[in-house]
Amino acid sequence: MELQVLDHPLVEHKLTILRDKNTSSTTFRNLVSELVMLEAYEATRNLEVVDKPIETPVAPMVGKAIAKPRPIIVPVLRAGLGMLDGMMRMMPAAEVGFLGMKRDEEHPTQQITYANRLPDDLTGRQCFLIDPMLATGGTLVAATHYLADRGAKNVTAVCIIAAPEGIKYVEENIDPSIDFKVVVCGVDEGLNEQSYIVPGLGDAGDRLYGVID
């Protein structure tokens, strides 16, 4: 597992506003999109490309184009949807799949899968899992293995913040045969008794879309 934590003044500034409990949902959504665009630059550094001959207004040349099969972006519902716009802005040629998972509150490292809209075969696809929070790590491991079961061997997870406990859990439980990378904006102090990240930013889904009872 490769972990990359972005170290940049713009990321720190935007993340601080994102964490503030007084930040409105509209601003929160915009900041998530902006942070994901900054993360996508690093997350796609090893994106596969092929030569593409073109003609500029001045002369012919050989440029680069994203290789096929196209990469696929997979938001983990529902909070991951808030990150989709930022990723698509950076990779408009990518396809999009959806995976619905939620944490079993009685067993925080166990997950319940309630929806999926993914190709049956992901062999040869570069997959980008997006989910704002890497807390216990259970969702990330389960989602990555869900993709691997469909043939994915190259998975990059893009999260806003992470807890050390979650990072450790992923390192210890991710299938080593998967080429796996995690990109985050920041690593926080840890988890509280309810397995929420501290200081964190609250429930990302609720702050993006409102509270659902």
Read off the pLDDT of each residue in 31-60 and give the average, rounded to a whole number.
Answer: 94
Residue from 63, 39, 67, 76 nearest 181 by CA? 39
Least-confidence region, from 18-27, 77-86, 102-111, 133-142: 102-111
Is residue 142 annotated as involved in ligand binding? no
Instruction: List Cβ neighbours of 6 (8 Å cut-off, separation of 6 or more).
Output: 38, 39, 42, 183, 184, 185, 186
pLDDT exceeds cutoff 80 at 169:
yes
Calculate the alpha carbon distances from 20 to 60, 86, 211 in Å. Answer: 51, 21, 17
Is residue 88 annotated as involved in ligand binding? no
Read off the pLDDT of each residue in 106-119 and give the average, rounded to a whole number.
Answer: 74
Is residue 78 annotated as involved in ligand binding? yes
Q: How confident is the model at residue 79 (pLDDT cuts 50, 70, 90)?
A: confident
Q: How confident is the model at residue 204 (pLDDT cuts 50, 70, 90)?
A: confident
Mean pLDDT rounded to a whole number for the chain: 91
Is residue 205 annotated as involved in ligand binding? no
Is residue 197 annotated as involved in ligand binding? yes
Is residue 131 annotated as involved in ligand binding? yes
pLDDT exceeds cutoff 80 at 111:
no
pLDDT exceeds cutoff 60 at 154:
yes
Is residue 93 annotated as involved in ligand binding? no
Is residue 202 annotated as involved in ligand binding? yes
Which tokens belong to 161?
A: 């913040």
Is residue 103 annotated as involved in ligand binding? yes
Is residue 132 annotated as involved in ligand binding? yes
Is residue 138 annotated as involved in ligand binding? yes
Q: How confident is the model at residue 103 (pLDDT cuts 50, 70, 90)?
A: low
Class at the top of the CATH hierarchy for domain 2-48+66-209? alpha beta
Q: How far apart are CA 88 and CA 77, in angstroms?
A: 16
